[in-house]
Chain A
Amino acid sequence: MTDVYVLGAGMTQFGKHPDRRSDDLGADAVREAIDDAGIDARRIEAAYCGHVFQGMVTGQRILAQLGLAGLPLSNVENACSSGATAVREASLAIRAGEHDVVVAVGTEHLTSRFRGALTPDPDDPEAAVGATMPGVYAMRARRYMEETGMTREQLALIPVKNKHNASLNPLAQFRKPVTVEDVLESRPIADPLNLLDCSPVTDGAAAVVLASGEAAKQLGNGRAIRLAASALRTGVVETEPTSMTFEPLTHMTATDAYERAGIGPGDVNMAEVHDCFSIAEVLRVEGLGLFPQGKYPAAVEAGEADLGGRLPVNPSGGLLGKGHPLGATGVAQVVEIVRQLRGEGGDRQIPDAKVGLAHCRGGKAVGIEGAACTVQILVR
């Protein structure tokens, strides 16, 4: 099987784009990724588009904007892992030997589709009794605090860290740092989570151009980053009540990715993880094995996950700071890692980063511990 490389990466400004559509944003990101790869657009052989609420054939509308005709294209939906799933599908098409150069794009114009708290699909029995996504994570936070003694102030340090990182990222939705007091005094959404514990409603798009080892050698400009693993798993059905302070789905997906990449959690130099809520970063980082169970809040307090720390987590600002355009999120994580590994991280550059990990997790369905989870490992 061939290796897969990221040749080019592109990403729009994240934020509110009242005058744009999801296909405008997607086309911007694809164009930037192709330019960044330095290749002729005619080299693109296939495309995958991740989105959640943008309607039928969003990917085709993007390609039409760019004049790219006739390519095989699939739109993929996996809730907040949609973009990451598009990257994985693109990588599989290359590993299978079907294509040499493939684009994966994620896009979402969420402000035109949605406001307020995200809820599961209305058919879901938990939606019928009043489940909201912040509510589900708030319940996990409450349980985690009860079991580990994490304080509310420690939890608030996650948005403080990520919004600080976002203040250094010109493409982030929020550029203003916040304090622990700001988090604690923001509007209550679902106790103990407040507004600043929740990722915002965001418009944006991101894209990557992937290539086989052969094509990367031929077309690459010396900046190609290897996509060492791209794992996808679905949550297991709960056959008995299990702990909600650990994520078996995240752990299972990570184990798959580590095995495929031949890399362990101790080799990871930076991680972009799915911090849709403050508590989510805690559960994910521990599920990924990057920090011991129950210990991440204290590690954050000690600065270990800061840009200058032992293992920077969400250097881009994460979903909390950079914004969370659902379908674009997983691709944007890969874009951040590619830029960091190339040394293009600007004011938030992590020195000597060689291995980056991107984690996405999306969706809620009754009786399963998480719906779709992806872990991707990139190596310089």
Chain B
Amino acid sequence: MTSGIDAKEAPVSFRPGELEVTGPGTGHLIGSRCGSCGAHYFPRRQACARCLSPEMETVPLSAEGTLYTYTVVRQSIPVFEVPYVLGYVDLPEGVRLMSQIAGCDPDDVRIGMPLVLSIEPFGEDEDGNELTGYRFRPATTEESHD
């Protein structure tokens, strides 16, 4: 978890439809669960691709996952400072999502490594106010590298 957020004002999610921020450094990803067959989706969907049921329930997603694959992005658009590690993370619900991977030297990132969700500062809005987003970090690091 990231510390040091000045919590005078409630932190603001960078994507309120996808990440609920409940306090400094706390929150969860928001997904959909099919009320008919139980399939999970991220981001939320209006109908289930497996059974076409429209009965989709909004649910918090697991904060733990494993790394399916990754890259070190060395050229990106200006709002992202390079290099950064980008990966696909598999959640136990059967959801794969893309996330930056932080708290780990790029040389130490490995396919299959266990990860945990981290709610942390993630860019700014047009007025320069800090936004809160998410990254995944190695689940087993003894020391955080902030």
A139 partner, pick from B77, B80, B88, beta carbons under 8 A: B88
Interface residue? B72 (CB, 8 A): yes
Q: Is the CB of B72 within 8 A of A125?
A: no
Q: Contacts A128-B14, A239-B50, A241-B94; is A117 near B75 (CB within 8 Å)?
A: yes
Binds B, one of A42-50, A164-172, A184-192, A208-216: A184-192
Q: Can you list 30 contacts pairing A with B, beta carbon distance less than 8 Å?
A: A117-B77, A125-B43, A125-B98, A128-B14, A129-B98, A129-B100, A130-B80, A130-B86, A131-B98, A132-B75, A132-B76, A135-B73, A139-B69, A139-B87, A140-B69, A142-B69, A142-B70, A142-B71, A143-B68, A189-B74, A190-B74, A190-B75, A191-B74, A236-B49, A239-B39, A239-B41, A239-B49, A241-B90, A366-B43, A367-B42
Instruction: Give bound CA distance, A237 to B76, whole Å.
Output: 27
Q: Contacts A132-B76, A190-B75; is A367 near B15 (CB within 8 Å)?
A: no
Interface residue? B58 (CB, 8 A): no
B98 partner, pick from A126, A142, A190, A239, beta carbons under 8 A: A126
Q: Which of A138-183 contact B (CB under 8 A)?
A: 138-140, 142-143, 146
Instruction: Give bound CA distance, A189 to B14, whole Å.
Output: 26
List the B side residues contacting A188 at CB < 8 Å. 72, 74
List the A side residues contacting B133 at CB < 8 Å. 128-129
List the B side residues contacting A236 at CB < 8 Å. 49
List the B side residues contacting A190 at CB < 8 Å. 71-75, 86
Extra A-B contacts (11), CB below 8 Å, given A117-B76, A146-B69, A146-B111: A126-B98, A131-B86, A134-B73, A134-B75, A139-B86, A142-B70, A192-B71, A239-B41, A239-B49, A244-B68, A366-B98
- Count chain A residues whose beta carbon lies closer than 8 angstroms to a beta carbon of B: 34
A7, chain B: closest CB distance, angstroms: 41
Q: Contacts A142-B111, A241-B95; is A116 near B75 (CB within 8 Å)?
A: yes
**Of listed A130, A138, A190, residue having the most chain B CB within 10 A:** A130
B87, chain A: closest CB distance, angstroms: 7
B13, chain A: closest CB distance, angstroms: 11
A320, chain B: closest CB distance, angstroms: 17
Q: Contact string, A101-130, partner B, CB cutoff 8 A, digits 1/0?
A: 000000000000000110100000110111
List the A side residues contacting B57 at CB < 8 Å. none
A328, chain B: closest CB distance, angstroms: 24
Instruction: List the 7 closest pairs (A to B, CB-CB), nearest first.
Output: A237-B49, A138-B71, A241-B96, A143-B69, A239-B50, A191-B72, A139-B69
Instruction: Give bound CA distance, A367 to B47, whole Å.
Output: 13
List the A side residues contacting B49 at CB < 8 Å. 236-239
Interface set of A (CB-CB < 8 Å, partner B): 116-117, 119, 125-126, 128-132, 134-135, 138-140, 142-143, 146, 187-193, 236-241, 244, 366-367
**Of listed B41, B72, B94, residue having the most chain A CB within 10 A:** B72
Q: Contact string, B15-34, partner A, CB cutoff 8 A, digits 1/0?
A: 10010000000000000000
Instruction: Give bound CA distance, A10 to B15, whole Å.
Output: 46
List the A side residues contacting B96 at CB < 8 Å. 238, 241
Instruction: Give bound CA distance, A114 to B143, whole Å.
Output: 41
Nearest chain-B residue to A138 (Cβ)? Answer: B71
Instruction: Give bound CA distance, A307 to B70, whole Å.
Output: 34
List the A side residues contacting B84 at CB < 8 Å. 130
List the A side residues contacting B15 at CB < 8 Å. 125, 128
Instruction: Give bound CA distance, A192 to B109, whole Å.
Output: 13
List the B side residues contacting A366 at CB < 8 Å. 43, 98
List the B side residues contacting A116 at CB < 8 Å. 75, 77
List the B side residues contacting A238 at CB < 8 Å. 49, 96
Q: Is the CB of A130 within 8 A of B71?
A: no
Q: Which of B104-134 contact A (CB under 8 A)?
A: 106, 111, 133-134
Nearest chain-A residue to B50 (Cβ)? Answer: A239
Interface residue? B99 (CB, 8 A): yes
Nearest chain-A residue to B134 (Cβ)? Answer: A129
B107, chain A: closest CB distance, angstroms: 10
A137, chain B: closest CB distance, angstroms: 9
List the B side residues contacting A139 at CB < 8 Å. 69-71, 86-88
List the B side residues contacting A239 at CB < 8 Å. 39, 41, 48-50, 94
Q: Contacts A139-B86, A142-B111; is A132 near B43 (CB within 8 Å)?
A: no
